[in-house]
């Protein structure tokens, strides 16, 4: 039994006329009559009583009509669901992000994504750059937001935003009262940084900024994420240099100040698998790039970096 036979049958049953049903279906009447006859032979029942004034359903035809309508409705719903999945309009998208990404890029991006794709559930996981790249390769996340612009095997990177470094200081630190903090003034201060193994490009950016200011930071603490890092600063144990978006992490006791000279942080990028990327992740990437394009158009910006 073919679905088209059920569609033909329902049309005739509802119109009670082969002529009107054929016009409704956009086919000629003889082929329609032939297909209904084929369906009756396959089922070994008569579905219609044919007469000079038209047709009427038999008892078997009446029983089939309800079932046929249900089958066609469920087929239509299955088609809708499959198309929604194919176009990334339903399901879930697993998102990895550095903590500053939550307060920076994702802060504006996720509400816009939910408005555009209300049936897609974003599942967001905090992780640093290297763990994100590993998770992408292992299929544990669908898209990542990380501070990196260097090519990585199997990953397509799309730079979104370059932010300046800012000084993270305890609120009672004398430099916290300055409008801008000279980088050289941080020489000799105890520093807290994240491990280089987790985010080598961002780590090297900070070390390079200190080197150009004439000192090597005295790293006395390491923090596995931005929240812990800023909490250590807020407690008065250390200072740090962080991307500008980290300043959206409002932890009592911490203050953020621009540095002089201004130093760029590692670029925030979106990353997806180079092949077979999940459609919801592609939709999220396209939205992120679209929103970042406005920022880059004012002063220029990086172009995509793809790696096989």
Same domain membership, residue 255 and residue 169: yes
User: Residue 33 sits in which domain range?
Assistant: 3-86
Q: State whether 251 and 286 are in the same domain.
A: no
Nearest to 277 by CA among 147, 137, 161: 137
Note whether 300 and 228 are same-domain residues: no
> What is the three-class DSSP state of 157?
strand
* Whether 59 and 12 share a structural domain: yes
100 and 227 fall within a common domain: no
Residue 104 and residue 64 share a domain: no
* Domain termination residue (choose one: 60, 86, 112): 86
Q: How many folded domains does the chain comprise? A: 3
Q: What H or E segment, with its residue span, contains residue 270?
A: strand 268-273
Are residue 248 and residue 276 in the same domain, yes or no?
no
- Cα torsion 121, 122, 124, 130: sign: positive
Q: What is the pLDDT of residue 149?
A: 78
Is residue 250 located within the same domain as residue 213?
yes
Q: What is the pLDDT of residue 303?
A: 41
| Among candidate residues 119, 105, 247, 261, the one with its CA nearest the CA of residue 183 | 261
Residue 182 shares a structural domain with residue 247 = yes
Are 234 and 287 contained in the same domain?
no
Q: Which of 86, 110, 133 is the last residue of a domain?
A: 86
Confidence (pLDDT) at 179: 93
CATH number of the domain where residue 240 is located? 3.40.190.10
Same domain, 183 and 209: yes
Return the pLDDT at 99. 75
Out of 43, 70, 86, pick the residue that ends a domain: 86
- Tens of pLDDT along the chain (308 residues) come to 788 899 998 999 999 999 899 999 999 999 999 999 999 899 999 999 988 777 999 999 999 998 999 988 888 877 776 776 666 667 889 999 987 766 567 888 889 999 999 989 999 998 888 899 999 989 999 999 988 877 888 899 998 888 889 999 999 999 999 999 999 999 999 999 989 988 888 899 999 999 999 999 999 999 988 889 999 999 999 999 998 888 888 899 999 999 999 887 778 899 999 988 999 999 999 999 988 876 555 555 444 433 32
Q: What is the pLDDT of residue 48?
A: 92
Supply the DSSP symbol for 50.
E
What's residue 81's pLDDT? 66
Examine the domain organization and report whether 44 and 114 are in the same domain. Answer: no
Beta-ladder partners of 158: 270
């Amino acid at each position: 039994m073919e679905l088209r036979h059920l569609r033909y049958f329902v049309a005739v049953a509802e119109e009670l006329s082969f002529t009107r049903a054929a016009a409704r279906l956009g086919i000629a009447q003889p082929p329609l009559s032939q297909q209904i006859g084929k369906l009756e032979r396959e089922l070994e029942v008569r579905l219609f009583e044919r007469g000079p004034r038209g047709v009427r359903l038999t008892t078997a035809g009446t029983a089939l009509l309800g079932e046929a309508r249900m089958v066609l409705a469920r087929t239509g719903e299955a088609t809708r669901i499959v198309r929604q999945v194919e176009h990334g309009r339903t399901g879930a998208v697993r998102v990895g992000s550095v903590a500053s990404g939550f307060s920076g890029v994702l802060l504006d991006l996720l509400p816009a994504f939910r408005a555009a794709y209300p049936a897609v559930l974003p599942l967001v996981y905090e992780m640093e750059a290297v763990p994100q790249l590993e998770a992408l390769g292992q299929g544990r996340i669908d898209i990542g937001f990380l501070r990196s612009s260097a090519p990585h095997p199997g990953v397509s990177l799309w730079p979104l935003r370059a932010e300046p470094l800012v000084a993270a200081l305890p609120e009672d630190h004398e430099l916290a009262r300055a409008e801008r903090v000279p980088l050289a003034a941080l020489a000799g201060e105890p520093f807290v940084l994240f491990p280089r193994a987790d985010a080598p490009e961002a780590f090297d950016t900070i070390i390079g900024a200190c080197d150009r200011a004439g000192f090597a930071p005295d790293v006395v603490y390491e923090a596995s994420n931005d929240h812990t890092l800023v909490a250590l600063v807020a407690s008065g144990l250390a200072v740090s240099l962080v991307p500008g978006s980290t300043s959206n992490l409002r932890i009592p006791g911490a203050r953020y100040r621009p540095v002089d000279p201004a130093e760029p942080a590692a670029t925030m990028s979106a990353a997806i698998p180079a092949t077979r990327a999940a459609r919801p992740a592609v939709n999220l990437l396209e939205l992120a790039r679209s929103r970042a394009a406005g920022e880059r158009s004012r002063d220029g910006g990086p172009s995509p970096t793809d790696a096989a």
